[in-house]
Each structure stands twice: as C-alpha cells, then as structure tokens.
Amino acid sequence: MDTTVLKALSILEALARSSMPLGITELAGTLELSKSNVHRLLQTLASRGYVTPIDRRYTATTKLWELGALVIGRLDVSRIAAPVMQRLVAQVDETAHLSVLDLATCEVVSIHNVESTQPVRAYSRIGQRTPAHCVATGKALLSAQATETLQKLPEELPRFTRHTLYRRADLLKVLEKARRDGYATNVGEWREQVGGAATVIYDHVGSPLAALGLTVPVERLKPKVMGRYIPLLTAAAEEISRQMGAPQTAR
C-alpha cells in the first residue's frame, strides 16, 4: 500500500471536512504527520488544483465536487437515457449504445446498450472498452475536447483496419468536421464490417458527459439510410442533454 497516497488523501479529506482553511501545523498535529511531509503533499495537491492557499492556510477547491459530479452524472445519464434509447431503437431497429470517454487511455467505455431485433446486428457489452479514435462515440467525444488536449495525442495511433485514421493530423481534420456537423461517423475503422454514427450528450454545465451512438453493420450503412438515422440520433441526444439540465447553447 502506498503510504504517500494515503497521507495525501487524508490531508484532502481533512480539508474537505473543515469549515475553514487549515494551516500546516494544524494538519500535521491532527493527522500525526511531520510538517515537512504535510507541506510537500500540500504543494503537490495545489499543483493539481485540489487545494489552494489562503493566508498561509489551505482549503480544498471545487475540483473534488467536479469529479464527484462526473461520477454521479454518469450514473444518472444511463437511467435518463434508457427510455430515450428504447424509443430510438424502435424507430431505426439498430443497436444504440451509450459510452463515456476515458481520456487517460483514449478509450470509450460502454455504459448502456439497447439491442436491435435484426438477425444481423452489431453487438457490444456493458463495460467494453474500444479505442476512441476509431469508433463514432469516441470521435464524437474527442471532437468536444479542447484543442490542446487533442494535440497531446500520439502522432500515430493504433491501426485496426485499412480504414482506421491512425495519423493524428488526419484524425484532427475529421474531429473538426464532427465538431461542425454535430456528429461523428465510423465506417469499418474498428471492425471492418461495423460502422455507425454518434453525437455528444452534455451535462448541466454544458460539458461533454457521454456519447449516444448507433452501431450499424456496414452492409446497411448507406447514405440514404444514415440521412434518416442521424436526425433521429441527434434529437435523442438533445433530449437526454435537456433532461440532464444542459444549457441550450450546449445542446
């Protein structure tokens, strides 16, 4: 067990529970740590934005709330999205799925699915991780990220099929188009015979929370068909965003 991490967490918890800023001496005495240790850990926490100094004392920032809100939002979005996704699948009879972005690994994680009734259909399981750069939900969520975040992606990403956009420069152009269009697409970039479209769901402060996608076998992925699906998909995502409290400007 990493004692340094435990000490840092104990400091953070003490500051979060305190109704007023605490000094190094107070924290050291309460937590039975050395002043030098507390000072060093506070500097680390401050550098990551978790605490801030006020007149030689420290207080926890709202970053803890922001992280907690993300977790709660992900739990709520599945519940709110479920009936909307059911209606969407009833309209198009293709598999709908809800995914969130893990920027640390540049992957999307499936958190809710509604299956198509068609005998040939795309399938994904809850908890499944897929590379964000080559699936529609991942590209939709990446398109909502800041430019400086996207510039940190590797110059070359893993390639899975002949259609995969594995060069960062090419991916950034596609993400810019997705940002303008309001949705992203995938045609055989992760699996040769699977494609689809996806758009972003926003939370109550207008931040990207999840992506709603339709996964369609490539044989059915025709422009005329997608021309009918995409307005239904974006309308469904907008409805979920609205129920999540997203401002009109984000939707």
| CATH number for the segment(s) 3-61 | 1.10.10.10
CB atoms inside a 10 Å sphere around CB 209 = 27
pLDDT in the model for residue 125: 77
Series of mean pLDDT values for 10-residue runs along the chain (251 residues): 85 91 93 93 93 92 78 77 96 94 91 86 79 97 94 94 95 96 95 94 91 92 88 96 85 65
| Intervals of CATH 1.10.10.10 along the chain | 3-61
For domain 67-243, give the CATH number.
Answer: 3.30.450.40
Q: What is the pLDDT of residue 164?
A: 95
Phi, psi of 200 (to 5 degrees): -90, 145
pLDDT in the model for residue 205 = 86
Return the pLDDT at 73. Answer: 64
* pLDDT for the residue 251: 65
